[in-house]
Chain A
Amino acid sequence: AQSVAQPEDQVNVAEGNPLTVKCTYSVSGNPYLFWYVQYPNRGLQFLLKYITGDNLVKGSYGFEAEFNKSQTSFHLKKPSALVSDSALYFCAVRDAYTGFQKLVFGTGTRLLVSP
């Protein structure tokens, strides 16, 4: 069975500092991994995905994520946080060969960027 863990309910960072939001996964086969962001009272917006290839994936709004197969992790990063990055972040995974693109989501991590 597929699963995702986001070990931190909340991450606090000062504006201008680097940020990391952690995600670890478990799948039986090759993983497809996704990050989504949710701003208050909004739906989820796609940030980036890892399918195959380079372990460092670049996405929207200056975010990137590093796929680490040995540690089964896919941490979201940004070199310099903005106050406007404050939101709820979800990691999601699917097995590459699971039908119909079913995603399994983590519980979410709230990012708070202080001025």
Chain B
Amino acid sequence: DVKVTQSSRYLVKRTGEKVFLECVQDMDHENMFWYRQDPGLGLRLIYFSYDVKMKEKGDIPEGYSVSREKKERFSLILESASTNQTSMYLCASSLSSDLTSKETQYFGPGTRLLVL
């Protein structure tokens, strides 16, 4: 079974703090994704990565950055946390970077972040 783990289930941070959310997958997947989930808005893609050290902006990248130094690990960074970044953050991975791949994305359990 594919396993995607996230470093924290719950986090409480203060406005202005630098926040790191870590995601690790154990299936040698090439693609990794960061989403945020908000009620009534569904999942929105923040950033994704299709290879080590490669990253692409998603639909809502403002206020976030990412790092992928190793294939299995994809980090989401909030340089200066703000209250509007309070949300559920979900990491996902998928196998192939082939443009026409039919692979499914596999999700981690999520990190619920509260910024005070």
Contacts and interface: CB of A to CB of B under 8 A. Distances in A.
Interface in A22-70: 32, 34, 36, 41-46, 49, 51
A108 B96 CA distance: 26
Nearest to A4: B42
Interface in A3-36: 9, 32, 34, 36
Given A42-B110, A97-B100, A100-B56, 9 more contacts: A34-B104, A43-B90, A45-B107, A51-B102, A100-B31, A100-B97, A105-B35, A105-B42, A106-B42
Interface in A93-115: 96-103, 105-108
A29 to B, nearest CB: 11
B45 interface: yes
A96 B41 CA distance: 24
Contact of B105 (A42, A101, A108): A101
Contact of A49 (B35, B40, B104): B104
Q: How large is the interface on B (under 10, 10 to 19, 20 to 34, 35 or more residues)?
A: 20 to 34
Q: How large is the interface on A (under 10, 10 to 19, 20 to 34, 35 or more residues)?
A: 20 to 34
B99 A99 contact: yes
Interface in B30-74: 31, 35, 40-45, 48, 50, 56, 58
A90 interface: yes
Most chain B beta carbons < 10 A, residue from A32, A98, A106? A32
A52 to B, nearest CB: 9
Interface of A: 9, 32, 34, 36, 41-46, 49, 51, 90, 92, 96-103, 105-108
A107 B42 contact: yes
Nearest to B96: A101
Contacts of A107: 40-42
28 contacts: A32-B102, A34-B104, A36-B107, A42-B109, A43-B4, A43-B107, A43-B108, A43-B109, A43-B110, A44-B90, A46-B104, A49-B102, A90-B42, A96-B100, A97-B99, A99-B99, A100-B97, A100-B99, A101-B31, A101-B96, A101-B101, A102-B48, A103-B45, A103-B105, A105-B35, A105-B42, A105-B44, A107-B41
